Structure 1
């Protein structure tokens, strides 16, 4: 079950990665950056060896191996300064590419947040009217203001996971080349951390989902009080309503505290374990038979690797916090798409009558409002619907505007039935004054 959940999570992360703008460039730049690091860091061994022993150039070349061939190919004689310069240039180029790829990933996140907002606004008023009446205004506001931003951050964190994972693999490959024993010990230590952190992030995801749902309720309650200011201002119901609001606020505060504690604990224990590993490595380098120069470079590698590992799990933790929000936005967009308003393709001419033929309508909850109505609205005439509250006046108007569809009977716009009418072209000619 654990591995099934892990595979599902990895599949979700992969989906986030490939649906992010410029993801190909981001991964490509990371691979090139990794290549420069692989090429540059091992070159420091002969440089450090030269400083420590002041061995002649001919003797130092024994440490170069493959790099001798590279230097001869470009026509440069290997020496202390040439190796140092080439190594520094490669390492700096690698870091520059990391900066470029990270910046592109952040720009992709900004672009995604804008696209999500445009999708929500563009499709919101194109859905079925009954779905719109059921949708709470606070939830839409919450989706636009908060969820969209965090959903796009989920894409950014998925890219960062790829970035840090690539760098982690590069530095582990370097470590294997420099010292196989040290790398195996690192695998054991980091494997232990992976298991502990994975369990923590699963719990964080559950907490984040609860936090987001509570925040939705708080947004809905806030929208209610803004829409009904006069009612709450002039009645005693305000105190009971405020107690509900305060309960939501207390829940969000409590959940946020637990989330913060778990985040900080994970950062702290990851740092402590990796730092302890480096101290133990220094103390036992003779037992592991790691030379002085190799030890310095191994420490340099792990000095770069440890922050990458910490960042990998910090972003994995952040991604697990954002996944419920991303799922909420995805669910809303899919729900909007599923409930998209159906539209015909025939244009109504406004010099023709609108006719109800035995029209009946019942709301989904079962309340019958209109039953077998027949009426004709002639062009260029003023028409008023008069009746008591709940008699169906607003429902008839909604049927005329095609906001609602008849459960029985047909509405004709001239000779065009309501299911063949181009409702969007029709509404362009309508002026609506709300009550």
Structure 2
């Protein structure tokens, strides 16, 4: 069993790949091709008796000119039908009509399979990205992810169609060669030899195109990566004048992409222009051989020529469609490789128990180190109880954000335990736990969509959701701002919220978490990028939410955390002291110095 599977994967690896996504449907497509080829072949064979019946005055004594295909007419005669010109023409028309119907069904079915395949593969990519562990995500190339999910997706469509066109052309070629064997064995041998010779001629083109296609996909990943970085770092590049040198780097990648595309185009042009001369050459050679050396009968040669035309046409179109598949194989391989990378970094946790409400979180002797051994957090002990506000302060690099990443479950402790409601978090459903957490960051996450969709994350616009929406914007002090807009909640915000202010973006981020109906709100430097007036307004929001939610505040500006129930001073990955604002001010010199430096 394993041997046969290895043979299939080695010699039919592309078909095996598509089969893993389509299953038995792949064989239905092949079966339809066989039927189309047989109906077309038998329909073509009808021309010989039509010519003979027309030339002989409507009667025919023998069907030997059809070779072994005469069994078809022998079968008709056993049914009691008299073979005449009218019957043969009717049969021929019926065969071609049935062929046309099946070809239509085949085309529709192929498109449905293509849609199914592309949808399934893209869904697999999206599911893989969403299931990816945060640490694994940090190790991936963001340009590759964007390129595969975006630009390379177009190649999936073309690649699928080109491959199954190749399979169908190969099947039809075999059908016509088989029919040729039944009518004239010598012809079949000649066709096979012609096909092999043309295949050797184009083998170099196939290999060169495959190399260029893979190179094009890799360059596409790099291009997308640099493009994303240019947009993200636009302000810096513009302000420093570095955009010129960065632009030259991007243009160099564009030149390499165009070079590979030109190579693929050149190979395709060679394939396209060489088709007709090859067909003509092989046709002439076979006619000469049949007439002068094999002494074939005129009727047999005519039938041979009809099968010859079909068979040789599919030899060349097979080469063309295979060339098209090879030209797009980079997109398929990139998608498969990325899925494998996603699967290696998939985040795993048990389905149960679910966390329906977070009552408290306990950290016991928690430490975290990166794989290179650098320790970020050391022996953290915290008891985060319900409806209290906990603040963490310290210089950059003290471990505040890493602590938040641990609390929300983006990373796991290198040592120590985290408990949720008394349960070891390693053994609870982490997705359900995260659903109970709202996270507001220094850089607000704003999507290029309407206010309503940004806050509800595309929830349907029904009465229940709209009531939740209005409650969320009221708590976030957004109701007045939204009412002042001509399009109200349907106002679009632009890319990354470019059409609104920083304070409005933060309020929308807060409203989104409130709409989510969470137990814990985390503010990670949520006011550090705002001006003093806007910071004051957001601070009022935070103060108003205290006591209604369990809150975790990470802050540089100490005015944000004055009313917190518990403030922890962090340094070098450790909690150095914990207390209220007044307690720390009285006993902690570092805290007092921070207060005085900020003229608090």
Q: Same fold (TM over 0.5)?
A: yes
The equivalent of 2:12 in structure 1 is 11
1:28-427 equivalence runs, <5 A: 28-51=31-54, 53-55=55-57, 57-59=59-61, 63=65, 65-283=70-288, 285-287=290-292, 288-344=294-350, 345-348=352-355, 350=357, 352-427=359-434
Q: CA deviation at 1:140?
A: 2.1
1:349–1:285 distance in 2 versus 1, CA, 3 Å: closer
**Which one is further off, 320-329 or 162-171?**
320-329
Q: CA deviation at 1:393?
A: 1.1
| Per-residue CA distance 1:122-162 (angstroms, 9 max, x = gap) | 33222211112233333222112222332344333332222
1:401–1:43 distance in 2 versus 1, CA, 3 Å: same
**Which one is further off, 237-246 or 179-188?**
179-188
Q: CA deviation at 1:252?
A: 0.5
Question: Equivalents in 1 of 2:359, 2:177: separation in Å?
Answer: 77
**Which one is further off, 65-74 or 296-305?**
65-74
Say whether the 8 Å CA contact 2:48–2:299 is kept in structure 1. Answer: yes
1:160–1:19 distance in 2 versus 1, CA, 3 Å: farther
Larger proportion of helix: 1
Q: CA deviation at 1:285?
A: 4.6
Question: Equivalents in 2 of 1:155, 1:234: separation in Å?
Answer: 46
Number of aligned positions between the proteins: 430
The equivalent of 1:3 in structure 2 is none
Question: Equivalents in 2 of 1:17, 1:293: separation in Å?
Answer: 43
1:61–1:277 distance in 2 versus 1, CA, 3 Å: closer
| Per-residue CA distance 1:193-217 (angstroms, 9 max, x = gap) | 1122233212211111111000110
**Which one is further off, 60-69 or 373-382?**
60-69
| Per-residue CA distance 1:312-355 (angstroms, 9 max, x = gap) | 11222222233332122112112222222122433447564322
Q: CA RMSD in A?
A: 2.5
| Per-residue CA distance 1:89-112 (angstroms, 9 max, x = gap) | 213422432332233112211222
Say whether the 8 Å CA contact 2:114–2:157 is kept in structure 1. Answer: yes
Q: Structure 2, unaligned stretches of length 5 or more?
A: 1-6, 443-600
Say whether the 8 Å CA contact 1:113–1:149 is kept in structure 2. Answer: no
Question: Equivalents in 1 of 2:318, 2:140: separation in Å?
Answer: 38
Any idea what SS the aligned residue of 2:437 has? Answer: coil
| Per-residue CA distance 1:165-224 (angstroms, 9 max, x = gap) | 111011112223333333322222211111222332122111111110001100111111
Say whether the 8 Å CA contact 2:53–2:60 is kept in structure 1. Answer: no
Q: CA deviation at 1:400?
A: 0.2
Any idea what SS the aligned residue of 2:363 has? Answer: strand
Say whether the 8 Å CA contact 1:26–1:104 is kept in structure 2. Answer: yes
Question: Equivalents in 2 of 1:168, 1:365: separation in Å?
Answer: 58
Q: Which is bigger in relative contact order (C-alpha 8 A, separation at least 6)?
A: 1
Q: Structure 1, unaligned stretches of length 5 or more?
A: 1-5
Say whether the 8 Å CA contact 1:179–1:290 is kept in structure 2. Answer: no
Q: CA deviation at 1:66?
A: 2.0
Question: Equivalents in 1 of 2:374, 2:201: separation in Å?
Answer: 55
Question: Equivalents in 1 of 2:18, 2:48: separation in Å?
Answer: 37
**Which one is further off, 83-92 or 418-427?**
83-92
Question: Equivalents in 2 of 1:86, 1:69: separation in Å?
Answer: 14
Quick check: which has more Rg, 1 or 2? 2
**Which one is further off, 216-225 or 116-125?**
116-125
Say whether the 8 Å CA contact 2:21–2:120 is kept in structure 1. Answer: no
Any idea what SS the aligned residue of 1:289 has? Answer: coil
TM-score, with structure 1 as normaliser: 0.91
Any idea what SS the aligned residue of 1:432 has? Answer: strand
Q: CA deviation at 1:296?
A: 2.6
Question: Equivalents in 1 of 2:437, 2:36: separation in Å?
Answer: 59
